[in-house]
């Protein structure tokens, strides 16, 4: 049964001076060696700050709980450390030399190839626990780590999990991050779905210069009591034996019970917050002395002496550790630097879809609206790929999406594969990082583009950077569906356009279909792409209810139809004498703009070429520039507002690349150029004034 929110923890962590077996003493000696190594590493970095590439944090004070945790993780487990967890990495089997390669941003840094800060690991070494990409954004790892647990649970339930081992997810996090709203989203999802995850909270009572008293009304253990079903325990994280026993209990609980637990470990902060924020800047002598009294190293030293280990042996271990660290640091200093030419590597993983395949208009095919083309594409995907799942707001069986874009899917594939989430845009988006890392292929939906913004933290910090900063080890296969655009009566919070904001994020792809055939072909390609793809789906085109958009309905393509991302389409082609005489122009557009352009082109027979971009990133620049050079005049048309927009950026690139071919400036047209329409205006009265504005703009362009 779930615990209620006032029940006491059933797991206790204790430390007591009992006799130890020879094997247990060997474990303590190994931990002592790791702590000595971590201390020597910290001191070596401090003495060589001038050659360390980035600011860095170390685990001084946190070593006991981190090493205990690292030693217990299995190669089938997934771990999300945070930027102070170098001792945990030692416990997991990483060498000082490997860690130093990242510290010094060297070519052979096994985590990021010199792309990221110290202690920002990623690893898919089969002999060690798996570590997806870790960012610097505090608290952000809670959602991807919970997504890992979500994926493990799905694979286990569906029979897709390989081997007999029951893997778990571990999220290591600082107490200062626990006040982040996204941590709450992760905990809420974990307890609701009873996921196999450990949240290890390392509490040193400081968040840079912000003290615990200033930052929180309760500690993480007390906070956890509010999450019904979340087991919890406290432990003295400076005591290695207590830490080991606590983590053994936590790991056993999650591995067997397959439920979440939060471990609250109190630890001293003996080092600086980072090498760039010195402890003496904000901490009193009394505070520093209080923390120094809890140093895990002398505690374990005294315990080993009490167990009969000779002090000379312990001193020799410390000396040998320092020597090994010195040698590793010297070797790392002399390691090869990254090649500057490699800076562009791993922004994206290679996609398997590079050419258009399948039948776009199969014989005897029936016409479908865009929303049904998307629905059918997802159904076909889920039939072909048992690892594919769909979740988001209201997409479950009860409603099937507020636009019916997921109708019937839950009934066909079950609630384990198609299900509702809470209003948690950050979790919906960020969890795909963890799901992708374990091999699940998520399709998720944010209900309206206007409400996408809570997910930007995850999209920017985690999803977009994962492939690049992991050196290609962890691209995020994530298909994020977003209904977008104005469709009549939507008002200021249900009609927004967000493509320009999305396009500032490097590492994601943006798709924007304008008809049913493209919807299906691009949806399939986006799913097969190993990179994150945001699919913008215009609400006004879903059913072709807006007058003038009936051509968005198309013959449904074959099941194997795919369109490679980054390929635009020639929708209307101006040819003949008027082109050669300079009496033509081209319109570069996408989405609803395609239908405005086509309607306006009727007024200029044979003079207008219309390009549907289809994919905003990657962009078909070859088609755009070739078309502009052919006509010498150009209008870039969007539904967005123009100021600082994608369209203005594209116009500038066209101006730069096609300047000598232009007969007129590159014109742009967006929302503020279009007529204001009252909320209660009937749909049939919306299209006409918009098209009239486009016609007027084209007449102006033609006058050049």
- What's the CA gap between 390 and 615, in Å, rounded? 23
For residue 572, what are the β-bridge partners? 610
Burial group, residue 22, by CB count within 10 angstroms (0-12, 13-18, 19+): exposed
Region of 614 (left: φ > 0; alpha: ψ -120 to 50; beta: rest) is left
Radius of gyration from C-alpha coordinates of the chain: 29
3-state class of 98 per DSSP?
Answer: helix
CB 546 within 8 A of CB 685: no
In the 3-class helix/strand/coil scheme, how is 445-483 assigned residue by residue?
Answer: ECCCHHHCHHHHHHHHHHHHHHHHHCCCCCCCCEEEEEE
Residue burial 394-409, b: 16+ Cβ < 10 Å; e: rest: bbbbeebbebebbbeb
- What's the CA gap between 531 and 344, in Å, rounded? 16
Considering 193, 494, 538, 631, which one is annotated as catalytic?
494
Residue 193 CB partners (closer than 8 Å, separation 6+): 150, 153
CB 82 within 8 A of CB 314: no
Helices (H), 640-702: 646-658, 687-702
Residue 198 CB partners (closer than 8 Å, separation 6+): 168, 169, 170, 171, 250, 251, 254, 260, 261, 262, 263
Q: In 129-182, which ranges are E strands?
A: 169-174
- What string of DSSP letters covers 528-562? HSSSEEEEEEETTTSS--STT-GGG-EEPPPTT-B
| β-strand pairing of 169-174 with 197-203 | parallel
Q: Cβ atoms within 10 A of the Cβ of 93, count?
A: 16
- Altogether, the residues listed in the chain come to a count of 704
- What's the CA gap between 401 and 542, in Å, rounded? 13
Degrees, nearest 5: CA angle 92-93-95? 130
- What's the CA gap between 446 and 385, in Å, rounded? 22
Residue of 79, 194, 86 lying closest to 148 (CA atoms):
79
Q: Which two tokens stand for residue 216?
A: 């929180």
DSSP 172: E
| Matching residue, tokens 């979790």 | 427
Phi/psi of residue 203, nearest 5 degrees: -105, 105
Region of 105 (left: φ > 0; alpha: ψ -120 to 50; beta: rest) is left
CB 415 within 8 A of CB 398: no
Residue of 63, 18, 88, 13 lying closest to 299 (CA atoms):
63
Q: Cβ atoms within 10 A of the Cβ of 199, count?
A: 28
CB 39 within 8 A of CB 292: no
Residue burial 550-575, b: 16+ Cβ < 10 Å; e: rest: eebbbbbbbbebbbbbbbbbebbebe
Q: Is 264 a catalytic residue?
A: no
Q: Which residues are catalytic?
A: 494
């Amino acid at each position: 049964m779930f615990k209620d929110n006032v029940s006491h923890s059933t797991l206790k962590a204790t430390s007591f001076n009992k006799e130890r077996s020879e094997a247990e003493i060997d474990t303590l000696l190994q931990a002592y060696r790791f702590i000595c190594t971590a201390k020597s590493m910290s001191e070596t970095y401090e003495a060589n700050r001038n050659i360390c590439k980035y600011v860095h944090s170390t685990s001084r004070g946190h070593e006991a709980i981190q090493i205990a945790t690292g030693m217990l993780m299995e190669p089938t487990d997934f771990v999300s450390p945070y930027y102070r967890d170098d001792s945990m990495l030692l416990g997991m089997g990483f060498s000082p030399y490997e860690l130093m390669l990242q510290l010094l941003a060297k070519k052979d840094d096994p985590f990021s190839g010199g792309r990221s800060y110290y202690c920002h690991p990623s690893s898919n070494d089969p002999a060690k626990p798996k570590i997806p990409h870790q960012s610097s954004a505090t608290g952000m790892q809670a959602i991807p780590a919970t997504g890992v647990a979500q994926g493990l649970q799905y694979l286990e339930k569906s029979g897709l999990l390989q081997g007999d081992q029951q893997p778990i997810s571990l999220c290591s996090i600082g107490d200062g991050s626990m006040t982040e709203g996204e941590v709450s989203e992760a905990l809420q999802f974990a307890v609701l779905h009873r996921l196999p995850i450990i949240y290890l909270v390392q509490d040193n009572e400081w968040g840079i210069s912000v003290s615990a008293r200033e930052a929180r009304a309760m500690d993480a253990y007390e906070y956890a009591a509010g999450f019904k079903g979340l087991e919890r325990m406290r432990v003295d994280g400076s005591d290695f034996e207590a830490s080991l026993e606590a983590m053994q209990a936590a790991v056993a609980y999650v591995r067997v019970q397959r439920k979440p637990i939060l471990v609250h470990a109190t630890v001293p902060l003996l080092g600086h917050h980072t090498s760039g924020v010195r402890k003496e800047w904000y901490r009193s002598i009394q505070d520093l002395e209080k923390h120094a009294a809890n140093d895990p190293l002398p505690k374990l030293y005294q315990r080993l002496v009490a167990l009969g280990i000779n002090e000379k042996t312990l001193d020799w271990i410390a000396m040998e550790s320092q020597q090994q660290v010195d040698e590793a640091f010297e070797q790392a200093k002399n390691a090869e630097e990254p090649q500057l030419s490699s800076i562009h590597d791993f922004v994206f993983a290679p996609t398997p879809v590079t050419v258009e395949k399948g039948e776009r208009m199969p014989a005897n095919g029936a016409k479908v609206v865009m929303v049904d083309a998307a629905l059918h594409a997802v159904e076909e995907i889920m039939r072909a790929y048992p690892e594919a799942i769909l979740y988001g707001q209201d997409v479950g069986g009860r409603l099937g999406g507020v636009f019916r874009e997921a109708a019937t899917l839950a009934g066909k594939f079950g609630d384990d594969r198609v299900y509702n989430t809470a209003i948690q845009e950050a979790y919906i988006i960020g969890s795909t990082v963890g799901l992708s890392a374990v091999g699940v292929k998520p399709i998720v939906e944010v209900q309206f583009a206007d409400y996408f913004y809570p997910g930007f933290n995850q999209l920017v910090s985690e999803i977009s950077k994962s492939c690049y900063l992991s050196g290609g080890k962890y691209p995020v296969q994530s298909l994020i569906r977003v209904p977008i655009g104005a469709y009549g009566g939507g008002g200021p919070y249900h009609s927004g356009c967000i493509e320009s904001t999305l396009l500032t994020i490097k590492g994601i792809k943006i798709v924007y279909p304008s008809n049913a055939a493209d919807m299906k072909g691009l949806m399939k390609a986006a799913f097969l792409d190993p990179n994150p793809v945001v699919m913008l789906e215009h609400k006004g085109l879903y059913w072709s209810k807006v007058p003038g958009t009936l051509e968005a309905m198309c013959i449904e393509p074959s099941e194997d139809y795919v369109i490679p991302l980054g390929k635009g389409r020639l929708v209307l082609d101006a040819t003949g004498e008027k082109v050669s005489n300079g009496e033509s122009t081209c319109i570069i557009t996408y989405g609803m703009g395609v239908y405005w352009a086509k309607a306006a082109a009727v007024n200029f027979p044979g003079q207008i070429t219309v390009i549907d971009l289809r994919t905003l990133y990657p962009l078909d620049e070859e088609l755009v520039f070739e078309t502009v050079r052919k006509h010498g005049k150009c209008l870039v048309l969007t539904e967005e507002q123009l100021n600082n927009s994608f369209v203005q950026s594209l116009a500038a690139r066209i101006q730069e690349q096609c300047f000598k071919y232009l007969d007129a400036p590159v014109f742009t047209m967006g929302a503020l150029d279009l007529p204001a329409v009252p909320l209660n205006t009937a749909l049939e009265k919306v299209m006409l004034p918009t098209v009239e504005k486009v016609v007027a703009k084209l007449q102006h362009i033609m006058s050049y």
